[in-house]
Amino acid sequence: MILTDQRILEEMAKGSIVISPFDPTCLGSNSYDVHLGKTLAVYRDELLDARLHNQVDYMEIPDTGLILLPQRFYLGVTQEYTETHRHVPFLEGKSSIGRLGIDIHATAGKGDIGFCNTWTLEISVKQPVRVYPGMPIGQLIYFEVSGSITTPYASKASAKYTVRSDKPVESMMWKNFRQSPEEPH
C-alpha cells in the first residue's frame, strides 16, 4: 500500500520518515518531489570493472545549467537527505523529466528500510539536454510493509552506502568480491 500525503506527514511527525530539507509544496497526493543536487560525477575510465573501485570525477552544475550528452553516464544526487525507518521508499523519475528523455535510475529505484542518506541518481539521456541544480528530478513513494524488520539497511554488515554524502556515490560493487586465499607456492 502506498502512503498518502497525510500519512507521509504523520510518519514524519513520528520520525519514521525524514526528508531534509522539507518543503510542503513538494508533497504530492502520494509522493514527495526531490531535486537535483549541484554535483554530478562521471567515471574516469570508459571501461568499468565490477571487481575494481572505479574512480569518478566530480563537476558542479552552474546556475546557468549543464548540458548532458547521450554518450555519457552521469551520477547525480538529490538535494534531499532522507531516512526511512518503517517503509520501503521508491524513487521514480517525474513524468516531465521522462518527457525530456532523462532517466534517473538504471536499476536502483527501490531503497531499503533503514536507508538514511541522499539518493544517488544514475542519469542517462536520450538526446542532449540542459539540467539545472535544484530542478525537480524525481519523486519518492513510500510503501507499507508487513512484518517486523530483523536488520535495517544501515545496520547490515554488507551495507555499502551508509556514509552520509552530498555528492553522488560511485558503485561499491567491488566490495562484494572477496580476496581469494593466496595460492600455495
Residue ranges of the domains in the chain? 5-170
Superfamily of domain 5-170: Deoxyuridine triphosphatase (dUTPase) (2.70.40.10)
> Quick one: which H or E segment has residue 9?
helix 5-14
Per annotation, catalytic residue among 122, 144, 182, 183:
122
pLDDT in tens, 115-149: 999 999 999 999 999 999 999 999 999 999 988 88
The pTM score is: 0.87
Contact 6, 29 (CB under 8 A): no
Q: Which amino acid is at 27?
A: L
| Cis? peptide before 70, omega within 30° of 0 | no
DSSP assignments along 56-111, one per residue: EEEEEPPTT-EEE-TT--EEEEBS-EEEESSEEEEEEE-HHHHTTTEE--SS--B-
Q: Which three cell numbers stand for residue 50?
A: 565490477
Active-site annotation holds for 122? yes
Query: What is the reported pLDDT for 110?
Result: 84
Higher pLDDT, 165 or 44: 44
Given pLDDT bands bounded at 50, 70 and 90, which one contains residue 178?
low
CA–CA distances in Å: residue 147 to residues 86, 150, 159:
10, 9, 21
